[in-house]
Amino acid sequence: MFGILRFGLRVARKSTVIAVAAALLGAATAIVIPVLTGRAIGGALGVIRNGLDRPYVVVLIVLLLALAISNVTSVLGQTGFELADGPIRREVTLRIGWALSHDPDLTEMEDPATAALVQKVRSREWEISMGYQLLTGVATRQIPALIGTAVTLGIVLTWWAPLPIMILILINAEYLRRVITTQMDVWSGQTEGQKHAAYAFEQAMGKAAKEIRIFGLADYLRRRMMGYALEGYRPYWARRWRDAGLSVVLGVAKVIATLAVICYAAWQAATGRIDLTTIATAIPLIMAMADTDLWMIGQLQRAGTTYGWLEQLAPTKQYAQDQTEGAAKVAAAARTTKIATPAELTSADTIIRPADADTADSIETPASTAMVVGDRRRPDEPATSPPPGIVFDEVSFGYPGSDRLILDGLSLELPAGDAVALVGVNGAGKSTLVKLLVAGYLPTRGRVLVDGVDLASLDVDQRRAWQRRVSPITQEFLRLPLPAGDNVELGSGAVWAGRLDPDPVPDTAVLDDIAQRAGITDLVQRLPAGWLTSLDKTMPGGTDLSGGEWQRIGLARALRAVSSGAQVLVLDEPAAALDVQSEARLVDGYLDLARSVTSLIISHRFSVVRPVPSICVLEHGRIVEHGAHEELMDIADGRYRAMFRMQASRYAEADAEVEAELRAAEVEA
């Protein structure tokens, strides 16, 4: 619970201090005001008989001042919360994002338990903000005020007067705490239904929204979302109905206890045992106690539990340390690197290096050579080390929780600076191989060696650094609702504009060169605002791209990464959404690019892999054939030859059908 307060102090210290101070001052006024009110009422008879005197005026002034302070503290507390709410929600979101992205290992991110934990935090992250508001506001104000009011009532009236009300308040608070906790457990146990409901909503409202409506699936997905949502809500609603009865009974009991204490005070006044000042003080104190509801205890526990889930997902200490180290690295890079101008970038004789070359991280290889695993170089720092050689040495791998081996004793070499193509049927393990290459997973058995260094021997920072040396374009390539320039420039690990309306507009010289080399100059020129066009139609001035156009943007991003220092290029189904002309341009550009990096291309299209000098066939988790296209076609019963002829025959049949249709059209004409 108090972890949320520490969280608030770390994220929004000033606002938290203001809110807590205002709440404590408000608690003090809640005790003082009934006492001053009683004195004002009790002294009214004397004023009527004798006129105003100085002590009475002082009481009135202090009472008015207390009332003013009470109202001001409420405004200050609300202002403090509102100022802190944005940073707190932002920090929660950032920590969830950090939890899913900081670790170079993909095991936890793809773990169902982690997915369930993320779903629980996301569905209840508002409770952290609410818990902060209660802890710095209502709870800090009401609990001290309740204790002070009870003590004051015991002094003013009689020692046992506050006990009946206090006991029922505490019983009700404990009951509500248990009820709220139980209800949260019921709700949190329905994460599977919540996930399916969210998936259905995303399908209906996401990228496929148009197709969903065209095929008439909107009603189906709506019903599916509502069905799963109700599946999660019904147990929760049923529990709330069961818990409502006793809550009503406890409320009625508190009302009876309050009336009993008021009647006792009235009897004391009627019999002359207490004066007007005492009864006028006691009644407001009794009502103040009766109005106190410690329901927030249960809500605070819920908030504490949700914050505990966030801590489990993204521990504060680890997150803060990572943020501090990241900021230090950025600052160090800014101090030690000279930023080139566009003219210098295009100058053939300009070579700019870091001021401190000794800061690059390295690992000693068995051959006493060094494999650079430092951060990818800045756009103005050309790569100085040669591309690495990569070897899969008897690699076996199965995903966590499964006994099935996707790769089984696979051996494969990607020679330094050369291109290798990989073909195989769906499910053969091609994408899994890429995850192992980038150290997203580590082999179950065997080794993945980069210049002789086992990727399993790298620590977390070194694995991150290795991943920055790799530029993968996967089947599900990145599509960001940002300007086209940023969608390409992010390949360098930096932003270009970073917003939709930059002022001034960043220089486009480097991007224009990349566009020409990647063959997307025509695409950029067709965009309404060129590189500044947002690639999202829902954004102002934005536009949609076709699948093939997005793929061309992705390939340009890969080229930008290579020009920024990436030395390993992985293209996974790069021509899946391209037309024939774009595919031919891709193959030519890829082969030209592959001369300067170590590269792997994965494709079902044999027209894409055919020009690659080394082609490997992956089947049953291992390489069953490898060689150039002509060599593989010479194997009489070879797997590559069979797949190539099958695909070629389909193209031939399609061509024959087109020719027949054209001849038929000519005859009719």
**Quick one: pLDDT at residue 618?**
92
Q: Look over the chain and give the mean of its residue pLDDT values, rounded to a whole number.
A: 82
Residue 572 pLDDT > 70: yes
Owner of token pair 């100022």: 83
Beta bridge partners of 473: 571
| Confidence grade of residue 13 (pLDDT, cut at 50, 70, 90) | very high
pLDDT for 662 = 58
What percent of the chain shows pLDDT beyond 70? 82
Measured CA to CA, the distance from residue 191 to residue 187 in angstroms comes to 8
pTM: 0.72
Q: Which pLDDT does position 258 carry in this prediction? A: 95
Judge whether 10 and 140 are in contact, CB under 8 Å.
no
Pairing, β 419-423 against β 598-602 = parallel
User: Given the DSSP bridges, would you call strands 470-473 and 568-572 parallel, antiparallel or unpaired?
Assistant: parallel
Say which range, 40-49, 540-549, 574-583, has the weakest mean pLDDT. 574-583
Q: pLDDT at residue 232 above 60?
A: yes
State the pLDDT at residue 201: 75
Mean local confidence (pLDDT), 162-170: 95
Domains of the chain: 2-187+243-323 (1.20.1560.10), 387-469+567-669 (3.40.50.300), 480-564 (3.40.50.300)
In percent, how much of the chain has pLDDT > 90?
40
The reported pLDDT for the residue numbered 33 is 95
Whether the bond between 386 and the residue before it is cis, its omega within 30 degrees of 0, is no
pLDDT, mean of residues 174-201: 76
In the prediction, which pLDDT does 328 show?
A: 74
String of DSSP letters for 380-403: TS---SPPPPEEEEEEEE--TT--
Q: What is the pLDDT of residue 593?
A: 64
Of the candidates 127, 255, 133, the one whose C-alpha atom is nearest the C-alpha of residue 180 is 127
pLDDT tens string 507-551: 899 999 989 888 889 999 999 999 999 988 888 888 888 877 887
pLDDT tens string 289-330: 999 988 888 888 889 989 999 999 999 998 988 888 777 766
Which two structure tokens, joined as six digits, stand for 189? 């146990």
pLDDT (0 to 100) of residue 375: 41
Q: What is the structure's pLDDT at 402?
A: 84
Mean pLDDT along residues 457-465: 88
